[in-house]
A and B are shown apart, each in its own frame.
Chain A
C-alpha cells in the first residue's frame, strides 16, 4: 500500500495544471474571504463609538439593556407584584421597495419613531433580581412575554417556559431569594401559585437590586410571508408594563426606589412608587447574537469563499481519475497495481490529505487575517472561542477533503471527466449556493440536511438561542445540522460513492 500511495502522490504532483489549480483553490478561499469584508461603524466615529458588548457570567457576550425600577435587597427576601399586561410599539411595517437592511451594526436603543402599536414576541416585563445595575452582571427574572407566555430566565442564556399566558391580561409574579437560590412563581389570580423555576446564582452578592423591569428586542418584519430573502426589515421596538399590588418581605430598611436604564447613559433617578406604575423599555436581556437581530458578524463570514475553492478541488479530484480513463492510462495503472481497490483508496488518501492540508492552511490565514480586516473596517466581529476557531479551520480542511474524495468517487464511477465534474458540482456546491441565495428557508434547510453540502455546517459559528428571534436560517449563517453531523453527511456520501466506484472498478474490464 505504501508503494501505491507513493505512486499516486507522484502522479498528483507531476501534473502542473493540477498543482496550479489546487494552489488557486486555496488562494480563492483566502482572497474571497478577505474581499467580502463589508463596512461597519465600530470605532469609526471617534471615541465612544467602539463596539463593546457586556460579558455575562459564563464569559460570553450579552445584550443587557432594560429599564429597571429597583431597590436593594440584603439577604433573603421576596417580592410579589401584579403585572397588568403589556403594550408596545413596533417599527412600522415597511411597504415593498423600501430601503434594504443595513449589514453593519445596528443600535438596539434609540427612539422607535413613527412606529405602530404591537408587541415583539420576546417583549418582556416582570420581576428581576440582579447584582447591581452593571450590564452583564448575574441575574434571575420571572416575566411575562409578548408571545411566549410566562418565562423564568437567568444569566442570559438560560430560559425556562412557564404556563402560556396572554400578554394583555393581568398576571401575578413573585421572586424569592433564599441564599444563592432564586425561585420564580406565577399566578393568574394571586392565590393559586405555580413555581416556574428555581435557579442558583453563585455570583449573587448579599445585597442585590430587586424590582420591576421592561425591555423589548430588535424587531424584524419578514416580507413576503417569510419567503423572500432580503425582504427582512426591522428596528427597535418598545414595551410598557403596568404594575400594581406590590408586596415585599424582608426588603430591609433602605426602601427607596430608583429608576435606572441599565446599559444606558443616564444616571439613576429617584422614584416614588404609587399604587400603580409603568415601566417602558427597549433592548434585551439575552445572549448577544450576530445577524439581523443582533450586531456585527461572526468569523465564519471570512470563510465565505470556500465554495469557490471547493469547485476547483472538485474539478482536480475528479480529473485525477477521469484523465486516466481518457488516455487509457488506467490500464497502465491497473497493470502496475492489480489490486484495484487499493488504487482508489490510495488516490482518495492522497487527494484527501492534500486538500485537507490546503483547506486548513487557507482557513487559518483567512480566519486570522480576515478577522483583522473586518475589525479594521469597523465591523463588529463576535469573538469565537479558540475551540470554535480550531473547529472552523479543521472543519474547512475536512470539508475540502470530503468533497475531493466524493468527486474522485464520482469520477471513477462515471469515468467521463465533464459528466463527473458537473455531477460533483451539482451535488456538492450547487445546493449550498442555492440555499444561500434564491431558495426559501425550508427547501434550503432540506437541501443542507441531505446533500453533501450539509458539511458547510462545520463552518457555522453563530449560536442560535430559542429566546432570541434571530431567524436561524441558512442565509443568516445557521445550518440545520450540527457541525459534525453535517460533516458526517458528506463523509457518508463520499464513502458510499467511493464504495460503489470500488465495486465497479473491480468488476469491470478496464
Chain B
C-alpha cells in the first residue's frame, strides 16, 4: 500500500564528525499508529526532516506514497507533519498562521476554521500565537498538520507541554485517524502513552533501526514497552546514569 505510506530505505547522513543516520530503513503502514522511539541523538528528527525534503541524505531514499516528498505538488495534502511547535511568527494569530499554510496548498479559510475546531482552538483563533502556551502551540501544530486532510501524519513529540486532557485528546485523535486508514508516525519518549496508542513500534539507535515489531510482539517478549525500550537500546545510548535499572544489571 505504497500510495499512503512512508518508506525509508538505507538513509545515511553525516553532520561533520557525527554520523546521524547509518542505514535507516523502515516502513510506516496505513491504518496504524507507528511509534518511532529511541534515545536522544538516535536520528529520529533527522529521519523526519529527510522524509519532508528539508535535509538531503548522503545516501538512501525516503518515499511518501511512492514518491519523493519534493516532487509532490501540494505536499500538505499528502503528508501532515509537526516537527517543532515553536516554529511560528509570534506576531501572527493562530488563524492567520493556518491561513497562509492553507493558501500555500490552494485551500480556503473554511478549511482553516474546520481544523481550528478539531484542535479545540476556535476560541483563541484570533489571538497572537506568540502568547500561546506550549500545549496550545502543539494543538496549533496538529491543526496545521491536519489542514490538507493528509493520508500520512508525522508528529514529533506532540505530547510535550500538553496537560492531561490534551494528552487524552491526542491519543484518541490519533487512534481515530489510524482507524480512518491513515498512516501515523508518532515520535515520543513517553513509553506509557505510546503503549496505549501505537500498533507498531520502530525502535532506533545510533542512526539505524534496532527493532521493528508490532506492539503485541514487543509486549509478549518484554512485558512492557518501557522494558523493551531499555533492553533493546542498552548498547545504543551514549549516557546512562549510575543506579538506573539498566546500569545496575
Contacts and interface: CB of A to CB of B under 8 A. Distances in A.
Contacts of A338: 53, 69-72, 75
Contacts of B97: 14
Contact of A329 (B55, B74, B89, B105): B89
B96 to A, nearest CB: 4
Interface stretch (B76-84, B179-187, B204-212, B240-248): B76-84
Contacts of B131: none
B101 A15 contact: no
Interface string B35-73: 000000000000001001111100000000000011110
Nearest to A324: B89
A327 B87 contact: yes
B144 interface: yes
B84 A331 contact: yes
Interface string A487-510: 000000000000000000000011
A345 B49 CA distance: 23
Interface string A325-358: 0011101111111110000000000000000000
B53 to A, nearest CB: 5
Nearest to B72: A338
A336 B91 CA distance: 20
A3 B101 contact: no
A324 B88 CA distance: 8
B5 interface: no
Contacts of A509: 49, 54-56
Nearest to A328: B87
B100 interface: yes
Interface stretch (A5-13, A24-32, A359-367, A435-443): A5-13
A388 interface: no
A332 B75 CA distance: 11
A292 B53 CA distance: 62
Contacts of B25: none
Contacts of B89: 11, 15, 323-324, 327, 329
Contact of A336 (B84, B92, B105): B105
B104 interface: yes
Interface string A310-331: 0000000000000110011101
A230 interface: no
Contact of B96 (A3, A10, A17, A336): A10
A3 B86 contact: no
Contacts of A16: 91
B81 to A, nearest CB: 6
B103 interface: yes
A506 to B, nearest CB: 10
B96 A332 contact: no
B86 A327 contact: yes
Contacts of A333: 104
B81 A14 contact: no
B149 to A, nearest CB: 15
B99 A331 contact: no
Nearest to A509: B55
Nearest to A510: B54
B87 A10 contact: no
B172 interface: no
Nearest to A319: B89
B164 interface: no
Nearest to B71: A338
Contact of A7 (B49, B87, B100): B100
B54 A336 contact: no
B90 interface: yes
B17 interface: no
A335 B96 contact: no
A473 interface: no
A339 B56 CA distance: 14
A3 B99 CA distance: 12
A346 B71 CA distance: 19
A55 interface: no
B106 interface: yes
Nearest to B69: A338
A154 to B, nearest CB: 63
B93 A332 contact: no
A7 B104 contact: yes
A247 B100 CA distance: 86
A4 interface: yes
Nearest to B101: A336
Among A333, A336, A339: residue with most chain B CB under 10 A: A336
A336 B83 contact: no
Contacts of B83: 331, 335
A334 to B, nearest CB: 6
Contacts of B84: 328, 331
11 contacts: A3-B74, A6-B104, A7-B100, A14-B99, A329-B87, A329-B89, A335-B75, A335-B81, A336-B75, A336-B105, A338-B75
Given A3-B106, A336-B76, 19 more contacts: A6-B103, A6-B104, A7-B103, A10-B96, A11-B89, A14-B96, A14-B97, A16-B91, A327-B86, A327-B87, A327-B88, A328-B86, A329-B88, A331-B83, A334-B52, A334-B54, A335-B52, A335-B83, A336-B101
Which 9 residue pairs are nearest across A and B when measured between Cβ atoms?
A7-B104, A14-B96, A10-B100, A328-B87, A6-B103, A338-B70, A509-B55, A7-B103, A336-B104
